[in-house]
Amino acid sequence: MIDILICDAYLYIDHEQEIPDGWIAIEKGRVHSVGSTDQPPPTAARVISARGRLVTPGLVNAHHHMYQNLTRSYAPATRMPLFAWLQALYPLWAGLDADCVYVSSYVAMVELLLGGCTTSMDHLFIHPRPRLVDEQFRAAREIGFRLYATRGSMTRAQEDGGLPPIALVQDEDTVMADCERLVATYHDPAPGAMGRVALGPVSLFSSSERIMRESLAMAERLGLRLHTHLAEDMAEDDCCLNLYGCTPTEQFERMGWASPRTWVAHYIYPSTSEIDRIARAGVGVVQCPSSNMMIGGGSADALDMRERGIHVGLGCNGSATTDHASMWMETRNAMLLGRAGHGPQAMGAREALDMATRGGAACLGWEDEIGHLRPGACADLVIWHASDVALAGALTDPVEGWLRCGPAVAGTTIVAGKVLVENGEPVMAALGDVLREHARQARRIQQRD
């Protein structure tokens, strides 16, 4: 018996297939079958009508820092460039503890679900107390969210030419031991995994060469993926020139990181030849449109990178530079950036949606199972909702209408075959208590009690 049948939908399966009047059947957490209404669907325990709605794969958030929702729109830092913004927030983030990470991750995942995201990576690079990533997996398990945690680290303090204060820096042995423990405990390489772990020294300007090399060695030994921020800000160029005598991309290549097991966030300031080398090496790139525009430091040329063969995903990167976590909004902003840079013929909703699904999945090395709705895929999908007012007059193309009108939010979000958002509302009974604790922790972190 099929668990859930969604019928009367406009189905976006992937970049190659759409079914205008279709159904999709879910069984045991997987897409069982898809079809159009002239092919009778299988009988199901539960039938959900998606009449007039677009159904897409769940969006994949390929770069995020969930804990930062504790310091959203922090007034003293809202007009600062990246490095100053980081230095203004480090002292607040030094207050992170297990309770903070649990509630901020919980809230972030619910917010992501409401914005149509079903799989997210998270890059937690501040570890003032031990066992913080464990709390993220606790929240993900309770919600039923698919989490690709990235154990970040900062190992180069201001005294060594880095950016963070010494109090927030860890030594390499501590970081690597925790990485090994987390991988042994939470990394599930099996198909349909709900949790995986990648290794993520934060950036070339706040990470030591030793942690870069040892992370690579561990990733090769254990079959893990690697992630970092790269070429995010012009100040990073100066920093790398001082520290290493070369550009960020050159140092990244010297460290042996330019390989298909790596995906990087931002990549705003490479040269054309560097982009071509990164493309040939198979490195994935995450564009973070809202964050990039908010911080005012430029944004990756996603269209150009796609044409050069790079897998480009999208990320929320925050919340504290973007202050929101809607992958719908990132997808829309990616489309707007592409059109602003290259003209209206260059990009539409489908290219942006492809980045938010297949592109992000490829960044995570997971494109076989997520980011599409072909039979056998993980049953991670969204029935989108926009108000009748917002969609009035949008008759000709449900995918373009979805991204050009709006705002669109998830009416129903399903992860691994389980309904986690229903009628636009999260189903988690604990959410109210979590939000109250989140408010308490945010006040404490921001030292407002």
Q: Which residues contact Zn ion by CB under 5 A?
A: 317
Give Cβ neighbours of residue 394 (< 8 Å, ≥ 6 apart): 400, 401, 404, 405
CB of 337 to Zn ion, least distance (A): 17
The CA distance from 184 to 176, in Å, is: 12
Q: Helices H, strands E: what count in the chain?
A: 16, 17
Decide whether 262 or 317 has the Cβ nearer to Zn ion: 317
Decide whether 208 or 317 has the Cβ nearer to Zn ion: 317
Structure tokens at 391: 């969609």
Decide whether 119 or 228 has the Cβ nearer to Zn ion: 228
Decide whether 316 or 352 has the Cβ nearer to Zn ion: 316
CB of 90 to Zn ion, least distance (A): 14
DSSP one-letter code for 97: -
Give Cβ neighbours of residue 150 (< 8 Å, ≥ 6 apart): 121, 122, 123, 124, 197, 198, 199, 200, 227
What does DSSP say about strands 409-415 and 418-422: parallel, antiparallel, or unpaired? Answer: antiparallel
Neighbours of 371 (CB within 10 A): 31
Dihedral angle, C-alpha 413, 136, 433, 4, nearest 10 °: 20
The DSSP-derived string for 31-50 is EEEEEETTSPPPPEEEEEE-
CB of 203 to Zn ion, least distance (A): 9
CB of 298 to Zn ion, least distance (A): 15
Dihedral angle, C-alpha 248, 307, 370, 354, nearest 10 °: 120
CB of 63 to Zn ion, least distance (A): 6
The CA distance from 284 to 126, in Å, is: 24
The CA distance from 5 to 24, in Å, is: 6
Decide whether 264 or 383 has the Cβ nearer to Zn ion: 264
Decide whether 317 or 333 has the Cβ nearer to Zn ion: 317
CB of 86 to Zn ion, least distance (A): 10
CB of 205 to Zn ion, least distance (A): 13
Structure tokens at 271: 């040269």
Decide whether 330 or 380 has the Cβ nearer to Zn ion: 330
* CB under 8 A, 24+ apart: contacts of 251-254: 251/204, 252/204, 252/228, 253/277, 253/281
Decide whether 321 or 412 has the Cβ nearer to Zn ion: 321
The CA distance from 321 to 316, in Å, is: 9
Decide whether 104 or 317 has the Cβ nearer to Zn ion: 317
CB of 314 to Zn ion, least distance (A): 13
Closest residue to bound Zn ion by CB: 317
Counting beta carbons within 10 angstroms of the beta carbon of residue 173, is it exposed (0 to 12), middle (13 to 18) or buried (19 or more)?
A: exposed
CB of 317 to Zn ion, least distance (A): 4
CB of 229 to Zn ion, least distance (A): 5
Decide whether 23 or 67 has the Cβ nearer to Zn ion: 67
